[in-house]
Amino acid sequence: MADLDGTQTEKKEKEFHTQTPQETPGFFLKGSHQYDWGLKNRLSRVFNPKTGRTIMLAFDHGYFMGPTTGLERVDQTILPLEPYCDCLMLTRGIQRSIIPASTQKAVALRASGGTSMVSPDDVWEGELDGKPLKLSRPGYEPLSYEDTAVDIEDALRLNACVLAVQVFIGSQHERRSLQNMTKLIDAANRYGIAVMGVVAVGRAMARTAQYFRLATRIMAELGCHLVKCYHTDEDFDTITSCCPVPIVIAGGKKRPELDALKMAYDACQQGASGVDMGRNIFQSDAPVPMMKAVRGVVHEGLKPEEAYQMYQDLKNA
Ligand code: R5P
């Protein structure tokens, strides 16, 4: 009974701090203050509590694009970037085969899939009056015919903080993709994992603030904990304003480094909670300097021009 002995011989007096009320701190992340502990803790691994922002490094493109430029060898191109991001957005195949299990980074796991960039259009081919006839359905959007692609138990085994699901508002398979999302939210809520709805812009959709306000708000209303969409040149602040949960921006196609840094900067100034960026980093001429420059803009208060100077200095060093 060492403990009991200890109470009798202990010299230090008990201190109950009766004059100091216990604090009831809030939570730093938009719309997330009423979640349970586990979910808040996972979100705090994705979003830096000091800045309220995140740098998610997106390299899940292979789930429908295969070995796209810059991702031919993830071990060679992505692992050197890992130290400078907050969160790895990836597929479970790459996570298990390439990412060291010793990583301290949060994981955002791609959780929808089932189609590819060569998925066939919805075409009917037959005969009419003895002549061949080919009919295609306009606006079919074959990429939008996704399913959920990860079971919640596997997400737990992989220690995911976030599940990412593609949502195709306004497409042929809008309803299906929204059901993928709500099913994942129900499963993820059981274990305190966050779900990120990813706005997928179909061929028929314009990348306008009006469209992104609609899409992000629908996803948040249906229970997403965070949302990813593209940045818009105009009125991006109206998108972040009326979405009650954090928005991160996708980088989109590769653009000049300064332009990408300006986009990340503007998005954060206009209410985004960070970036989920891929091609503009791993397809850069100098991916590690670009990764550090993005970090400068998102977390360290650098202006785009200052971050670009940092990029050039590091690239030329
Ligand atoms: C694409 O569908 C993937 O989900 C990417 O994660 C997303 O597009 C972000 O990557 P990028 O910055 O290259 O657009």
Model confidence pLDDT, tens digit, residues 167-202: 999 888 999 999 999 999 999 999 999 999 999 987
Residue 118 C-alpha to ligand 1 middle, in angstroms? 17
Under CATH, which number does the domain 31-316 receive?
A: 3.20.20.70
Q: Could you read off the pLDDT of 202-251 as tens digits, one per residue?
A: 766 788 999 999 999 999 999 999 999 999 999 999 999 999 999 999 99
Q: What is the pTM of this model?
A: 0.92
Nearest Cα residue to atom 2 of ligand 1: 61
Task: Calculate how far, in angstroms, residue 196's C-alpha sits from the geometric centre of ligand 1.
Answer: 13
Q: How far is ligand 1, taken at its centre, from the CA of residue 37, in Å?
A: 29
Whose alpha carbon is nearest atom 10 of ligand 1? Answer: 278
Residue whose C-alpha is closest to residue 314's, from 278, 285, 274, 280: 285
Enumerate residues lining ligand 1, CB below 6 A. Answer: 58, 60-61, 89, 198, 250-252, 276-280
Catalytic positions, written as ranges: 228
123-155 pLDDT tens trace:
777 887 788 877 766 666 778 889 999 999 999
Please tell me the predicted confidence (pLDDT) of residue 3.
Answer: 61
**The predicted structure's pLDDT at residue 267:** 98
Q: Distance of CA 22 to CAs 5, 19, 238, Å? A: 31, 10, 38
Domain spans, the chain: 31-316
Asked whether the predicted pLDDT for residue 6 surpasses 90, the reply is no
In order of 89, 95, 238, the CA distances from 64 in angstroms are 14, 16, 31
Q: What is the mean pLDDT of residues 76-102?
A: 98
- pLDDT of 125 reads 77
Cα separation, 146 vs 115, in Å, equals: 6
